[in-house]
């Protein structure tokens, strides 16, 4: 699933490990897998990730973009 995780993380200067630590109960391997589209997060993790960045889920994840091969909204 397409997501803006890497960009959002870079904007805040957080490492993958820092995101994992702030979330708790998730490894940086999982954050990497989500960023690179290798793993679609569970609903619970998707909401927790969105909440971490003070955004709504659809502002972080957009399954339609990957399906249409489009760039994310700016």
Question: By CB under 8 A, is residue 63 in contact with other proteins?
Answer: no
Helix (H, G, I), strand (E, B) or coil at 27: coil
Question: By CB under 8 A, is residue 13 in contact with other proteins?
Answer: no
Question: By CB under 8 A, is residue 66 in contact with other proteins?
Answer: no
Helix (H, G, I), strand (E, B) or coil at 2: strand
The first and second tokens of residue 37, run together, are 């589209």
Q: Is the CB of 25 or the CB of 69 nearer to other proteins? A: 25
Site string for other proteins, 15-54 (x = CB under 8 A): xxx-------xxxxxx-xx--xxxx-xx--x---------
Bridge partners for 3 per DSSP: 61
Task: State the residue for tokens 């994310």.
Answer: 72
């Amino acid at each position: 699933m397409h997501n803006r995780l890497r960009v959002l993380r870079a904007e805040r200067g957080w490492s993958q490990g820092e995101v994992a630590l702030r979330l708790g109960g998730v490894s940086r391997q999982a954050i990497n897998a989500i960023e690179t589209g290798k793993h679609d997060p569970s609903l619970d993790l998707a909401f927790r990730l969105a909440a971490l960045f003070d955004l709504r889920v659809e502002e972080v994840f957009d399954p339609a973009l990957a399906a249409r091969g489009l760039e994310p909204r700016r």
